[in-house]
Each structure stands twice: as structure tokens, then as C-alpha cells.
Structure 1
Amino acid sequence: MAATKLLTISIALAALSASAAAIGVVFWRRKAKADEEKIQELERSLKAALQNCGAERQGRIRAQQALRKVANSNDSSNSYPLTPIAITRSCFSTRNGTPRQPLVVPLAKACLVFDPTRVPAASLEGLEGYSHCWIIYVFHLNTDLDKLWKHPSRSKFKAKVRVPRLKGERMGVFATRSPHRPCPIGLTVAKVDIVDGNKVFISGVDLVDGTPVLDVKPYLPYCDSIPGAMVPDWVKADNMLAITSVSFSHDFSASLNHCWSRKMQKKKKTEISLYTSPTEFQNLIQQVLSWDIRSVSQRIRPHKTENSSMNNATLEDDDSQEEVHFSDDIVYHLILEGLDTSYKIDYDGNVHVEKIEPCTPN
């Protein structure tokens, strides 16, 4: 009896041991499987990381190759797009009458209005400490501008342009300040009058209204002025464009006062004058007309024409070799701040200003 009971207990213990062993095997297999899956996951992660590193390396190599290709390329289609940072509000409403060089008309005023979304007012702090500044801008009124930028390969420019101081004779474009250039970028200098928020008021300008500004830099006399710099003799011939005298008709002041009163009643800030009085504005007219602002073609073949064609005349559009003719009957127009000034010029170079009136809308 005792032996049977002992046998039963032994069998039970053996079964229990077998069950424990079986359970242990199951748990071990599960753990081994989990470890194997973890190892496989790590292997996949490592493989992906290696692939990413390889792709990044290949990307860097391709980028470096592309950069070297661009750097070594002579392809004229390569471009560097620039966005204007400011727009010019100038006293010169049209190209006609805008000085060909800066500072020759001290009363010529303008305001550079900076885009506040791109140029914070803080970026202009300190500029008022300089008397003058450089302005880099775009010749935005060039008639071939669209073709030049959109289809540069089809665009052609004249290697030589007609020079006013040479009575229309031609000179290489890079020996002149002509606006018609392969890259229509201009450089000028102006007197800094006031810095007010996102606006810079300047004078002595040669910029037409609406000119896009690319950059402004302070003028530094110690490095921007070059003592002993040389220029060709024809550049020194200022008297070629100088006017003998400027006179005004008897009723000019009255008509100017009338136009001024109407102008001061304008509500739009963009229409408010840059000048403080009719007298200052008349002095501006006198300074502008102290130089012969007519184009080469107008001086060679003076003819009656509408304001629009007078204002849009260019130096390079006329190939005539005729001698200069004069006529006391031709009426020319100068448009400043939307006011149309009519004048005549006689054989001796005397300018007679006849009247002033608001411009007629086209």
C-alpha cells in the first residue's frame, strides 16, 4: 500500500517536472523569437541608416558637382534674381528732364520708400549720420527690359551709344552712363536729408519716379573719392549742355500759385509735394532747365510733338547725322510732380518758361 502511494507521488513529481520543463522551453522559445525579431529590427535600422548616409553623401557629391559646374560655366543664362527693397518717389515724373548725372540739380528731391515687410526701419538707423549715400537701382523704363530678363539669349544691346556731350557721336556703352546696358543696373549718389521710419528723403537726385531700389550704402569720402582720377576730355565738356539763361513769363507765378493751391488740397500722401512753397518749386524748375534736357534727336531735329513722345525720347533711338537746327516756335515740356511746364529755347541757348498747368491724363 505504501509502495503504491510512493509510486503515485513519484509519477506526479515526474509529470510536474516535465510540465515545468515544457513551460520553460516555451518561454525560452518566445524570448528567443523576441530577441531574434529585435536583432532583425536593429539590422534593418542599421541598413536604412547606412543607405541614408550613402544617399546624403551622394547628394553632397552631386551638389558639389553642380556648384562647380555653375562656377565654371560661361553660360549667359545663369541669373541672380534680385527683389527691390524700396521704390523711389521722385520729383521727376518722366525720364525727360531727369538729370543725366547726380548732384547737378541740388533741389531735385526724392523719397526712398522701403518695403516694411522686407526691410525693418531699424536697418536704416545710423544712415542719417552720413551726408551722402550710394543708391543701386534698376533702369525700369528701358523698353527692352522684359526681353532682356525673360529671354536673355535673344536680347541684343547696342555696343555703342550716342553721347549728348559729343553732340550725338557714339561711344562704347561701358565708357558711358547710358541706361541701355546688358545689365540695366544704375549707380548714383545723393544727399541724405532726413531718415524717417521706413523713408529716406534725399536730394540732388537723378532718379525718375517709380525707380526700384536694390541697395543703399553710405558714401565714404576716404575710400569712395579718388584724388587724381582721370576722365576723357569730352566728359569735362559741361558747357556743351549748359543753358545761357532761364527766364519766366509775367503770369507764370500766378499760374504756379494756382496749381500749388490745388496740389496742396490733394488727400493722398503720394501726391503731396516734396517742396515747401511755390518759390522753392520754381527754383527747382530753373535749376533743371539750366541744362539742355532735350535728347540728341530733339536737338538735331526739333519738331512739334505731343507730351508723351517728348517725354519718352531716348538718346540711342536716333541715328541721324544731321547738324543741330534751332527754332523759336518749338514748345518743349518738363513734367515735375505731375505739373507740366511749357518752355521754348532760342538759337542762343536762352530758355523762356511760358506756363505751368496740371498734366492732362492720357
Structure 2
Amino acid sequence: MAGGLGAAGAMAAFVGCGVSVAYLMYRCRELRTELEHCEELRAAERRGRTEAEKKLRQLRKKFQGTGGSVEVAKGEAAASALGSSEADESYPMRPIGYMRTCFSRRSGTPRQPHLVPAAKGLLKLKTKLPKDIMSGLQGYSHCWILYIFHENTNLGTEWERMKGKVQVPRLDGGRVGVLATRSPHRPNAIGLSSAKIDSVQDKCLIVSGLDLVDGSPVLDIKPYVPFCDVIESAATPAWVGRAVEHEPLHISSVVITDKAMRKLRFCWDNLGKSGDQAGTLKELYNDFGDLVRLLNQVLGRDIRSVYQRTSDEAKRDPVVYHLHLLGCIDVEYVVEDTKSKTIEILDAHLRLTGHDDDGGRIGREVVYYEAIAEEVSVSCHEDLRLDVLQTFERVWSSPKATLCFSLVTYKYLLGKGHRGKKRDKYTRVLLTGMRHLFWSDLHTEAKRFRSLFGFLSDDVVLSDGGLDKLSSSAQLECAQLVARFSLYYFGPRKVAQTVYSFPASASVRSLSLDFFLKEIAGVLRKIKVEGVIITYLSSLVRLHELIPFSTLSLATTARVQEVLFTLSQPGGPYYAPKAVRVQARNSFSKIYPHGKRMRALFKILTSILHPAYSVNAMLSNISTLLGRICSTWPWERLGATCRDLVRRVSGPRGPSRRAVD
């Protein structure tokens, strides 16, 4: 009786949690809709303001070019009457080129030049400029660069609406007049930086020590002349000349974890494959050591904004920040100790240019099972969790109970870990249900449980210490699930990153790529959905381009070749459709080009000898078809009809000559 009441109470509490989660999800959807609406309004307002400014500039040019001499004279007279200091004058300026730098976004770009000596940039002048315009510049070691802060959010703002003071990072948010700082938010968004000249060739200039964001329009280049540019008696305020140990932006050390170092190596090796622009930026650096040196120098000073430093330091858990370099490298880091300012680099991802997340982390959209699993893992009391586990244990005989158990308890069992005696049993049932859910996605060509797979991959298998709470058999099964379904849920580039850091457990680390491809071959043997098979085969080719399969063991190579060869044949045991056979042959030829002609000859022989394709079988089928036609055709009726037709046409015959005689 007590057990029944306990189970009923657990189910009631669980239903109450579900109702609360459903209401929270409803509120989240409402707030998300309002936020999207506000963002749309803001974007529309900005587009309208940009279009209005563009039309205004066009009208000014048209007016100046079509005879506005009288009005100009009136304007000059008015300007002289008001005073030259109050006249709104404009002067034509055009960029001579655009600077390509290693800083993809404003966040992370150095605040001053020469703070990051490894930061390099490439300037290509426009073709309209003379060829010898930079002749003689190679004789200087440094130069001045005049450019535009093109990513300012207040471009085109009227001066009357500007703020006179801005927050200074070195003063921890203290305000100083704009013209007493080097803030990019100025009356005219013009920047001035000095840089070291590395090389000058025709219309190309390579410099280092930059503090420009990628794509900055350059207005002019001037040589740096020490005898007149260096002022020995120059004085600065006290907050500018602070010592390093007393500066709020000082970082004591930058630590790169082993996982992040492996991922950075992968990003560097595949940087040229992510786009032409990234390949151009990679050519500015010699080797992987230059990338590590650049990363240490950039993070050697606190690049966070004043708001981030003041608000995030009050939080308990460390906040993960992102640094974007070289067009498509996304580096994740945290500030470990706010007092000693130690930065730890956790991870790195390679993102395709112009795409969102092929190779990035899975988007964690809030789905119903994720919200309930979070409620069970975080908000529920330990006794209530035990009641929930015991309730599911009583109904495990139901077909869908295991699936529901996996969706409700995966964050608790895999994240926190159950410490009871039945831990291994619960984990085994959980992984069985997850395997069924992933297979159901494959058979229906859906990705309903992508968030569940993302948690298993990123937060359990690939995270440091994520598998330590599980037994050795459970660790192996988790690794198998990630290896089997990564090509379906992830893109090939993300899978390649997964292979480099796969798995986090030392018990299966030595298997790596072999283990990965053995599981993929097993999936290709079992799956019967044409679209999913084609997706796996095409992804294998792209994965081979990122990670050559030459390092595979002989057994794994034979297994992969056997699956590809069987899928490319018309017969059993798979009886693959034509689209799958074509894709399998193409994948086989690209991954294993040796023996391509022999396989083509074998295909021809197989087609001839196969019962469905041989010449004898085709002739037999034709004769059988003709026999059926002849057996069913009304030949007797056709003969009688023909004789009757001939009799009518020829008319009645007279007596024959033999009869007359």
C-alpha cells in the first residue's frame, strides 16, 4: 500500500513538473516571438536609415553635378555669415583598398596597434590606381594607415545626438571625452594606426602589428618618419601610463588544454579548405606555431568589454567566450581566476565561410524532452528522482517505456550520474532506448532527437571526464552510438573534428578512426532507407578528403571496401536500388582509386552473368512474352474474319473449268 502511494505521489509530482515545464516552454515561445519581432523592427529601421542616407548622398552628387552654382553661392554666403566653423562641408573620399586581417569580428580585435605583433594583414589596392603608387615604400620599416571604422553602430548619427564621453576599458568603465581617447565612436569614424611593413609588391602591402578588423576600408597610407613622428617630451595622463601589473586589462597567463591544441591543429590543417579568403589569410603565416603565438598574444590582454567584465565576474559559473580568427576559426575560452586573470582555452571549431554550423556545435533548440530532462536533473529532489526511476522500472515491459525513460532521465544519468546500486542497470536501459530513438530517426529520415544526440556527443563522450561516471561497457556503448550516427546528425567537417578528439576515455582512445569507420560500416549494412544510405556514402567521401583513410588497419579497410562493393552490385545481399549503386561506385572510386578498372570489368561480367541482366535471360523473357501474346490472341476468329473479307471482295465464283469439262 505504501509502495503504491509512493508511486502515485511520484507520478503526481512528475505530472506537476511536466505542467510547469510546459508553461515555461509556452512563455519561452512567447518571449522568443516578441524578441524576433523587436529584432525585425530594429533591422527594418536600420535598413531604412541606411537607404535614406544612400539616397541623400546620391541627391547631393546629382545636385552638385547638374548646376547648383546659385545655391552653392548662397550656401557659401550663408557659411561666411555664420562663420566657417559652423558650416557643414563635405569632401569627396574613396577607399584605396580594403584591409584583410586575421580578426573576423570587432570583439577580439586589439584596442591599440603593436599589442599583437603576430597580427598580420594584406592590403590590395584598387586596379584604377597607378601601378607605381607604392614605389619606394619598401624603404620604410613602418607606416601610418588611415581607415574607416566601418562596423560602427552609430555611423550617420547626427552630432547633436552623440555622447560626449565614452567608457574607457583601462579605467574600468570610467568616462572620458571622446576626443581624449582612441575610441572608434567619433564624430568622423576615421581611424589612424601604425603598422610594421613586412613586404611591398606591386599593389599589395603586407603589414603586421595591426589593430584593424577584417574588411576595413583604407583611405590612405603614409610612411612613418621617426625624426618628426617621435616626440620625446610627450606627456600622457596617469591612467594611460600605468604599469603592467596595475593595469586592469593585464592577463597573467594563457593555458591551452590538450583537447584545444588538437582541435587547433585540425583547424590549421583544414583552414585552406574552408574558403578562398581563409586560404589567403593562411598564406600570411608560416606554420601552426604562428597561429598559437597569435592566440597567446591576442588573449594576453583582456579583450572583454567593460560590461562583460563587470557583469560576468559576479556569476558563479565561468562564462564561455568566443574569439574568431582567420575568417572561420572559433576559439572558446574562459577566465579561470578573476583576480590573477588566468585564461584557459577550452575548444576550437572550424566554421565554413558563409555557413552557420557545418562543423560547429549542434544548435540546442529547446524541445519538450530536453526541458523535462533538465527539470528531472536539476530541480527535482533526490527522493523524487528515485521514485521516478522505480516507477519506470515497473513499466519496462511496455514497448515505449524504454524510449520515454531515455528521454526523461538522460541528463541525470549521463550528466550527474546515479550513485545507487542499480546504476549500471539504469544506464544500460537508457542507452538501449537512445539507440532505438536514433534508429527511428534514420528509418524515418528525420532529426527529431538531434538535441539528444548532441548532448551524448558533446557533453558526455567528447568532454573531459564525461565518461568517468560510467562503467567500461557503458563507455564503449556511448562511443559506439556517437560513431554510428555522427555522419547523419553532424556534417563531415564536424565528424572530422570529432575523430581527432574521439573519444575522451583512454580505454578506447587507441581505436579512434578504425573504431569510427567500423561502426559506420555496420550502419550501412543494416539501414534500408535510400536517402540515408546516399547521405552516408557522400559524407564518407568528404570525410576522406579531410582525414585520409590510409592510416586504417587492414581489417577496417577490408570491411569498408566490402560494404562499398556490395552496395555497388545489383544483386544480394542488399539488392540496392540504382541511385545507391551509382553513389556507392562513385564513393568507392574516390576513396580507393586503385583497382578502379578491375572493378569496372568485374561489374560488366557480373551484369552479363546476373540472371536479371544476362543475354540469355533477356531472350528467354522476350520469348515468354511472345508466347503469352500468342496464347491469348484470338487466332481462329481472326482467320474466319479474313476469309469472309476475301469472299466478299472477290464475289461469287463460277464453275471451274475442270467441272465444265
C-alpha contact 1:134 1:187 (8 A) present in aligned 2: yes
Partner of 1:276: 286
Letter in 1 for 2:132: A
Matched, 1:168 2:178: no
Change (3 A) 1:349 1:62: closer
Seen in structure 2, the aligned counterparts of structure 1 residues 327 and 88 have a Cα distance that, compared at 3 Å, is farther
Which deviations, in whole Å up to 9, do the C-alpha atoms of 1:293-347 show, x marking residues without a partner?
0000000112xxxxxxxxxxxxxxxxxxxxx536552101110012001001122
Matches within 5 A, 1:30-109: 70=79, 72-109=83-120
For the pair 1:262 / 2:248, whether they are aligned, the reply is no
Please tell me whether the aligned partners of residues 328 and 345 of structure 1 are also in contact (alpha carbons under 8 angstroms): no
Q: 1:301 aligns with which of 311, 327, 331?
A: 311
CA contact (8 A) 2:274 2:351 kept: no
Q: For 1:290, give the aligned amino acid.
A: G
Task: Select 1:325's aligned residue among 304, 314, 317.
Answer: 314
What amino acid sits opposite 1:210 in the alignment?
G
Whichever residue aligns with residue 330 of structure 1, its letter is V
Cα distance in 2 for partners of 1:342, 1:62 equals 57
Structure 1 counterpart SS, 2:239: helix
Q: Given residue 331 of structure 1, which amino acid in structure 2 is its aligned partner?
A: V
The one-letter amino acid paired with 1:285 is L
Instruction: Give the 3 Å change call, closer, same or farther, for CA 76–295 of structure 1 in structure 2.
Output: farther
Q: Which amino acid aligns with 1:108?
A: A
Give the match for residue 229 of structure 1.
Answer: 234
Question: What letter corresponds to residue 226 of structure 1 in structure 2?
Answer: I
The corresponding residue for 2:332 is 342
Deviation at 1:82, TM superposition (A): 1.1
Q: Distance in 2 between matches of 1:359 and 1:85?
A: 30
What is residue 137 of structure 1 aligned with on the other side?
147
* Structure 2: tracts of 5 or more residues without a match: 1-68, 357-661
Alpha-carbon distance in 1 for matches of 2:329, 2:72: 56
Tell me, in whole angstroms, the C-alpha distance in 1 between the residues paired with 2:317 and 2:102.
28
Amino acid at match of 1:249: T
Aligned-pair identity (%): 41
Aligned length: 277
How far the C-alpha of 1:279 sits from its partner, in A, is: 1.4
Structure-2 change in CA distance of 1:106 and 1:233 (3 Å): same
Q: Which amino acid aligns with 1:92?
A: F
Equivalents in 1 of 2:322, 2:258: separation in Å?
Answer: 18
In the TM superposition, 1:118-129 aligns within 5 A as 119-129=129-139
Alpha-carbon distance in structure 2 between the residues aligned to 1:285 and 1:344: 14
C-alpha deviations, 1:188-240, integer Å up to 9, x for none?
10000011221100000000001011111000000000002100000012422
CA displacement, residues 45-76 of structure 1 (integer Å, 9 cap, x when unaligned):
xxxxxxxxxxxxxxx99988876765653445
CA distance 1:270–1:263, change in 2 (3 Å): closer
Q: In the alignment, what sits opposite 2:346?
A: 354
CA distance in structure 1 between the aligned counterparts of 2:318 and 2:180, rounded to whole angstroms:
36
**Partner deviation per Cα, 1:117-164 (whole Å, 9 max, x = no partner):** 1x223011111110000001111111121x33xxx46x6211000000
CA distance in 2, matches of 1:120, 1:327: 59
Contact 1:90 1:110 in 2 (8 A): yes
Partner of 1:121, secondary structure, is coil
Partners in 1 of 2:143 and 2:315 — Cα distance?
39
Q: Which one scores higher on RCO, CA 8 angstroms, separation ≥ 6?
A: 1
Q: Which amino acid is 2:288 matched to?
A: P
> C-alpha distance in 2, partners of 1:331/1:70?
54
Cα distance in 2, alignment partners of residues 159 and 197 from structure 1? 43
Question: SS in structure 2 opposite 1:258?
Answer: helix
- What is the distance in 2 between the residues matched to 1:170 and 1:269? 38
Aligned ranges for residues 209-228 of structure 1 at < 5 Å?
A: 209-228=214-233
Aligned letter for 1:333?
H
Contact 1:328 1:344 in 2 (8 A): no
Could you tell me which amino acid in structure 2 is paired with residue 350 of structure 1? Answer: T
How many Å separate the matches in 2 of 1:167 and 1:264? 39
- The letter for the 2-side match of 1:342 is E
Which structure has the highest strand share of the two? 1
Mapped partners of 1:61, 1:345: distance in 2: 63
| 1:198 and 2:203 aligned | yes
Distance across 2 between alignment mates of 1:76 and 1:108: 41
- Distance, in Å, in 1 between the alignment partners of 2:76 and 2:210 is 40
Residues in 2 aligned to 1:65 and 1:213: alpha-carbon distance in whole angstroms: 34
- The one of 238, 243, 252 aligned to 1:244: 252
For structure 1, list consecutive stretches of 5 or more residues without a partner in the other structure: 1-59, 303-323
- 1:7-62 CA-to-partner distances (Å, cap 9, x unmatched) read xxxxxxxxxxxxxxxxxxxxxxxxxxxxxxxxxxxxxxxxxxxxxxxxxxxxx999
TM-score normalized by the length of structure 2 = 0.40
CA distance in 2, matches of 1:196, 1:328: 50
Q: Relative to structure 1, is the Cα distance of residues 328 and 200 closer, same or farther in structure 2, using a 3 angstrom cutoff?
A: farther
CA RMSD of aligned residues (A): 2.4
* Contact 2:147-2:217 within 8 A present in 1 as well: yes
Moved over 3 A (4+): 60-76, 324-328, 359-362
| More moved, 76-85 vs 277-286 | 76-85
The alignment partner of 1:128 has SS state of helix
| Contact 2:98/2:218 (<8 A) preserved | yes
Q: 2: CA distance between counterparts of 1:114 and 1:235? A: 35
Q: Secondary structure at the match of 1:205?
A: coil
Q: Distance in 2 between matches of 1:231 and 1:326?
A: 35
The residue type paired with residue 330 of structure 2 is D
Structure 1 residue 83 displacement after superposition: 0.7
Match in the other structure for 2:507: none
d(CA) in 1 for partners of 2:71, 2:104 = 50
Larger CA Rg, structure 1 vs 2: 1
1:246 is paired with a residue whose SS is: strand
